Amino acid sequence: MKFVKGSWEMPKFKVKEKMPFIPTEEELDQLIAGCGRKTSTLLQLLKETGARLGKALKLKWTDVDFERRLVKITPEKGSRPRILPISLKLIEMLNILPRENEKIFPAKKGSWKKSFINQRNRLAVKLGNPRLKNITFHIFRHWKGTTEYHRNQGHTTRQGSAWT
């Protein structure tokens, strides 16, 4: 506007905050159990680590310490690198997957989303729970953050929190 010597008045806008949808752990577990082998492993990883989908899809087999049950998350979007504990259940799920690629979850981000939506919607109908249709990959991050917050409530520091 300065270049054309015009004027502009910024519009007034107020963001309406709303709480994100947080499913129950049982609903997440139903979704994980009802999806295919690769998708359920990805979802279990998201549930346990609170990682963003992009980080999870970039994971390599060398990022997992199977003996000590740890996973190394590479930073994305300005976050810090993390080494996080994972369950024996997730280790077993990972061990079942084929190791045909250096990445654990090879494929494009969009193809994962489409497959997940199809599986999720089919499962919501099958289980008669329409709330499952509200669960997205990022909801796992919200769920992890919420559970970490409530687990650590009363503490003055978030250091060591797995979801940031």
Kindly report the CATH number assigned to the domain that includes residue 121: 1.10.443.10
| 107 assigned to some structural domain | yes
Which position has the token pair 């979802």? 43
What confidence category does residue 96 fall into, taking pLDDT thresholds of 50, 70 and 90? Answer: very high
pLDDT at position 1: 74
- The predicted-structure confidence for 116-155, as pLDDT tens digits, reads as follows 999 999 999 999 999 999 999 999 998 998 888 888 885 5
pLDDT at position 76: 72
Q: What is the mean pLDDT of residues 3-9?
A: 83
pLDDT at position 164: 43
| 69 assigned to some structural domain | yes
What confidence category does residue 10 fall into, taking pLDDT thresholds of 50, 70 and 90? Answer: confident
Residue pair 140/47 in contact (Cβ under 8 Å)? The answer is yes
| 57 assigned to some structural domain | yes
| 94 assigned to some structural domain | yes
Kindly give the residue spans of alpha helices, DSSP state H, lying in 58-101: 88-96
| 154 assigned to some structural domain | no
Q: Which of helix, strand or coil describes residue 82?
A: strand
| 92 assigned to some structural domain | yes
Total domain count for the chain?
1
What confidence category does residue 38 fall into, taking pLDDT thresholds of 50, 70 and 90? Answer: very high
| 96 assigned to some structural domain | yes
The b-or-e profile of 37-58 (16+ CB within 10 A means b, else e) is ebbbbbbbbbbbbbbbbebbbb
d(CA 31, CA 101): 26
pLDDT at position 89: 97
| 20 assigned to some structural domain | no
pLDDT at position 155: 57
Which pTM was predicted?
Answer: 0.80
| Domain extent at residue 44 | 25-148
